Amino acid sequence: MAEIKSTAKKLEPGKVELEIEVPPEEIKAQIDQAIKEMGKTARVPGFRKGKIPRPVLVSHFGKEAIMARTLHDALPLWYEEAIDQAEIKPIDNPELDFDTLDDQDKPYSFKAAVPVVPRPRLGKYIGLEAEKEVVEVKGAEVEEPIERMRKRVARLEEVTDRPAGNGDFVVIDFTGFVDEEALEGGSGKDYMLELGSGTFIPGFEDQIAGMEEGQSKKLTLTFPEDYRPENLAGKEVVFDVTAKEIKERVLPGLTDEFVSENSEFDTLEELRGDIRSRMTKAREAAAENLFREQVLEKAVEAAEFDIPEVMLEKRSRELEEEFAMALKDSGLTIEAYAERAGMPAEELRNGFRSEAERQIKQDLVLETVARNEGLQVGADEVEAEIRDQAVRRGIDAEKLLEKTRKARREGFVKENLLRRKALDLLAEKAIPVLHKHTAAVKEEEKPEIIKP
């Protein structure tokens, strides 16, 4: 496409006028394309479809029809190129002011009044204070995954000298009865149950605890009120249970040999060090993400917005459509999902609107910060980001690049990178108020504040 010329001027808050001029060489290229497209379906006696010479096509259709088809096909392309040049984001269809196309040897001009979102009036966004967690990994937390590893490779040994207790495995035969009739699907033989696993309804495992090998017992229980299927919810059930065997889990010793046999590490200390390192990195990343979210939220709170209703409705509709597509894989509609969640469908849709408003405000603040601070994203950064996406998705980078360019999605990638840079700047300039997280803190207590 030959480069078009465009100039932008502000008409009023929320509207920009583009004056667009298309050079003759671009007009001629689009006329050629229009003739080719028209020739694919044209029927002219004496010629095969798709093989009609250009002069014959021009004579067959006439100049006026060809020019009209050219303008119909090319005007949206020229408009898209103009808004890309002007770096503006329309929020609705433009009002176009154009004449017929009648001369391929002269530039063609038209105007477009483009509705755009008014930029927010930013408040303070540099030097914002936000809480940030001081990451700490305790020794007991490091031991938890090691204990899970030990349990995975533990052996089970039969117990005959004591009753079953929490953590034991009990081999049982059981049959359930509701209203003195056998419960469908409520029986089993040689079923190995881990006490404390919560596999059965509440109370079942508690009453198995204390049974001895060979002992039989009747358990009287009640199905929870929210039990499924609903016809059993809240009903009394009686189980006849026989404990046939009791087994206890015998864990391997916590030694270097155990570690080398069951992991990629040679020693216990190496394993502990790796677990601590991975936990620390994950928590630091989570703490940083939360800090960035809080900084952005404070910048949003300090700004003033005039968000057009059409923009809010569009984003809300997009979120609802994305959610509906995700539900489709599960065979659910939004109405069915809302019913399961115990809420009116309208309340769910209001949630999409609230989320749309939150996202729009965040995007607008970051875009305005980027503009105010002169942040830029180069073509090389866009390409690098697309290649990174390809690696993360496990697809060919060159194919993704080609697909992105064909779909004219490079601008979308550029916008995301620019917003990311703006958020990086906000976080770098923010003041972290550090605190230690304690899991057992009381509701009325505040976390320990540490001066940075």
Domains detected in the chain: 5-115 (3.30.70.1050), 155-250 (3.10.50.40), 280-450 (1.10.3120.10)
pLDDT value for 438: 52
Residue 153 CB contacts under 8 Å (≥ 6 apart), including other chains: 252, 262
pLDDT digits (tens, 9 = 90+) for 45-71: 888 888 889 899 989 899 999 999 999
Asked if 117 and 364 count as a contact pair (C-beta separation under 8 A), the reply is yes
Phi, psi of 132 (to 5 degrees): -140, 130
Mean pLDDT (whole number) for 149-168:
94
Residue 344 CB contacts under 8 Å (≥ 6 apart), including other chains: 338
Query: H or E segment at 57?
Result: helix 54-61
Asked if 61 and 42 count as a contact pair (C-beta separation under 8 A), the reply is yes
Q: Tell me the pLDDT band of 322, cut-offs 50, 70 and 90.
A: very high
Read off the pTM. Answer: 0.73
| DSSP SS3 for 411 | helix
pLDDT digits (tens, 9 = 90+) for 210-224: 999 999 999 999 999
Residue 78 CB contacts under 8 Å (≥ 6 apart), including other chains: 4, 20, 22, 26, 110
377/415 Cα distance (integer angstroms): 8
pLDDT digits (tens, 9 = 90+) for 268-305: 999 999 999 999 999 999 999 999 999 999 999 999 99
Asked whether the predicted pLDDT for residue 447 surpasses 60, the reply is no
Tokens representing 144 are: 């938890």
Q: Tell me the pLDDT band of 1, cut-offs 50, 70 and 90.
A: low
Please compute, for residue 83, the number of CA atoms within 13 A of its CA located in the half-sphere on the CB side.
Answer: 21
pLDDT value for 450: 33
Phi-psi region of 358 (alpha: psi -120 to 50; beta: other; left: phi over 0): alpha
pLDDT value for 282: 96
pLDDT value for 269: 96
Query: H or E segment at 177?
Result: strand 169-178
Burial class (CB in 10 A: 0-12, 13-18, 19+), 178: middle
